[in-house]
Amino acid sequence: MLSLVSAGLGAALLPHSIRRLAFDGVRFAPITDAIMPTLSLSMIMKRRPHPPVVRRVWQVFSEA
């Protein structure tokens, strides 16, 4: 997502924690005084194989 923004192909709404990543030409601006809706999220992955990091992320999200 940040690569697309850096290439001038759009904008993105991302969590505050993403500010730790550095991308040339990308400006991070906090959204203040906004009422943000609660969103339902889904996670998808290939059936197999599952690298350890993918299995761990799936486990963390499944427990939430």
Helices (H), 1-64: 2-6, 52-63
Distance CA 20, CA 29 (A): 13
Tokens coding 14: 């991302």
Whether the predicted pLDDT of 2 surpasses 80: yes
Domain that holds residue 47: 2-32+40-63
Looking at residue 64, its pLDDT comes to: 63
Whether the predicted pLDDT of 29 surpasses 80: yes
Looking at residue 32, its pLDDT comes to: 84
Which single residue is written with the structure tokens 């601006």?
A: 29
Please count the structural domains in the chain. Answer: 1
Whether the predicted pLDDT of 47 surpasses 70: yes
For residue 11, which of 34, 23, 37, 32 has the smallest C-alpha distance?
A: 23
Tokens coding 1: 């997502």
Mean local confidence (pLDDT), 43-58: 81
Whether the predicted pLDDT of 14 surpasses 70: yes
Please state whether the predicted TM-score (pTM) of the whole model is above 0.95: no
